[in-house]
Structure 1
Amino acid sequence: MKSTTHPAQPAHELHAPDQEFDMRFTSTPRGARLARRLVSHRLHEWGHPYNTTTNDTVTLLAAELTANAVCHGHVPGRDFRLRLTIGTDANVDATTIRIEVTDTRTERMPTLTAPAPDAEAGRGLLLVAALATHWGTTPRTAAPGKTVWAEISTPPNR
């Protein structure tokens, strides 16, 4: 697999992002659906049009991470937070798109495991690992919870 799983920090640290979207959502299927749609819309506005590989890939990553926050990271009465950033890394002439989903559950850390062949669920993180350049989890320091993040690197928009 090309992805890195569970490092404390991403493989490289971007300076201030060029673009940023940050919002809290209700920890419900409706909140996850809205987050996914807003990610696609924001990417479109930032120069990664609908129905392009970049928009579709990041939207799928958002769908998986927000669904996991709702299904496995849900604490009654607590929201999840989604942060989307785009930054350029001049060292490698690439644009990095990073999606972070933060929930308030600490005892359920995501693990990458292969489900049984006939299982109806359990493949979301396999998709994240296959599509992301890097992904991992970071514990929250200011409050209980964790952030699950994924990054993709693309050629810069010119």
Structure 2
Amino acid sequence: MSQAPPPRTRLLLADTPDAVGLARLHITNVLARWGVPPDSVETVKLLVSELATNAVRHPNRREQQRSSEADQHAAGTFEIMLDSDNDTIRLSVWDRDARPPVLQEVGVEASGGRGVFLVAAMSRRWGCYPANGRPGKVVWAEVSVCPEERRAESDWAEV
């Protein structure tokens, strides 16, 4: 007896300002088709927003410095990968910047810098590794999938 492979999707995007919204839309559509509960969908959307924003804001600076001035205005690319089994959604984002993400301490008044903190706080596990066979790195995060019915039953059992 053969088993179907786990659901998987990939999306290559240009690192342009509208890429983050397109990434969220893609994730929403895919996870709805996979039957993922809405709470988990919202968490994965938040994570993809943060990781895609980092990919757009922090392209490979060395590559940009080597290119001609005309090429500097051309968009680069990044890739979103989504895998699932019955209990976990794994979101991975490849970008061209080899520098690992850094958890920063940010003040209350800061207007940014909380992305990696949110990824760490909202995921079950997360990390990064060098991209294999291409420049940059892959940042990944895992989200537990707990169907609403099971979650409601477990909440009731704890009362």
- Same fold at TM > 0.5: yes
**TM band (smaller chain):** 0.7 to 0.9
- Asked if structure 1 preserves the Cα contact closer than 8 Å seen for 2:90 and 2:142, the reply is yes
User: Pairwise mapping of residues 7-18 of structure 1 onto structure 2 (< 5 A)?
Assistant: 18=6
Residue 134 of structure 1 is aligned with which of 121, 125, 131? 125
Displacement of 1:32 in angstroms is 1.8
Displacement of 1:141 in angstroms is 2.4
Distance change (3 Å), C-alpha of 1:17 and 1:58: farther
Runs of 4+ in 1 over 6 A off after TM superposition: none
Once superposed, what is the RMSD of the aligned Cα atoms? 2.0
* Structure 2 residue 47 is matched with structure 1 residue 61: yes
**Unaligned residue ranges in structure 2 (runs of 5+):** 65-71, 150-159
The residue that corresponds to 1:71 in the other structure is 57
When Rg is computed on C-alpha atoms for both structures, the one with the higher figure is 2
What is the letter of the counterpart of residue 35 of structure 1?
A
TM-score by length of 2: 0.77
- SS of 2:100's partner is coil
Structure number having the greater helix percentage: 2
What is the letter of the counterpart of residue 27 of structure 1?
D
- SS of 1:114's partner is coil
- Asked if structure 2 preserves the Cα contact closer than 8 Å seen for 1:17 and 1:86, the reply is no
The residue that corresponds to 2:24 in the other structure is 36
What is the letter of the counterpart of residue 88 of structure 2?
T
* Structure 2 residue 8 is matched with structure 1 residue 20: yes
Distance 2:140 2:5 in 1: 15
- SS of 1:69's partner is helix
The residue that corresponds to 2:78 in the other structure is 80
CA deviations over 1:80-134 (Å, ceiling 9, x no partner): 000011014xxxxxx110000001111x321011112211101111111111000
Distance 1:66 1:155 in 2: 25
Residue 135 of structure 2 is aligned with which of 144, 150, 157? 144
What is the letter of the counterpart of residue 37 of structure 1?
L
**Unaligned residue ranges in structure 1 (runs of 5+):** 1-15, 89-94
* Structure 2 residue 145 is matched with structure 1 residue 154: yes
| Identity between Structure 1 and Structure 2 (%) | 38
